[in-house]
Amino acid sequence: MSINNRFKQIIKSHRPVLVDFYAEWCQPCRQLEPVLKAVKNTFKESIRILRVNVDHNQSIPSQFNVKNLPTLILFQSGSVKWVKEGMVETSELTHMISEYVEKTVQ
C-alpha cells in the first residue's frame, strides 16, 4: 500500500486524527513538538496524531493546500474539521480537539 493510500485510510477513522505537516528545518515546527506531546497525553487513545514531513511526502500536503509550516489539520471520518497554520498554544489545541473527541465518546 502506498503512503498516500495509507494516509487516506488513516484519516477515514471515526477517531479524530490530528495531522502535523512539518519539516526538519522549520523552527516553529520544532517548538510545536511539546504541544503535540501534551495533547497526546491529555487525550491518550481518543485521538491519533500523525506527523507528515513535507520534504519526504510532497503529494499529501499538496492535496490539502498546505502552504505554510507548521500546519495542523484535524480529520474525522475523512473530513477536514479544523485547520491551523503556525504555532498554537496547548490550551487552544486541547479545547478545539475536545469538541470532536467528546462527540466520538457519546
The C-alpha atoms of residue 84 and residue 67 are separated, in whole angstroms, by: 11
Annotated catalytic residues are: 26, 29
The C-alpha atoms of residue 15 and residue 50 are separated, in whole angstroms, by: 13
The C-alpha atoms of residue 99 and residue 10 are separated, in whole angstroms, by: 20
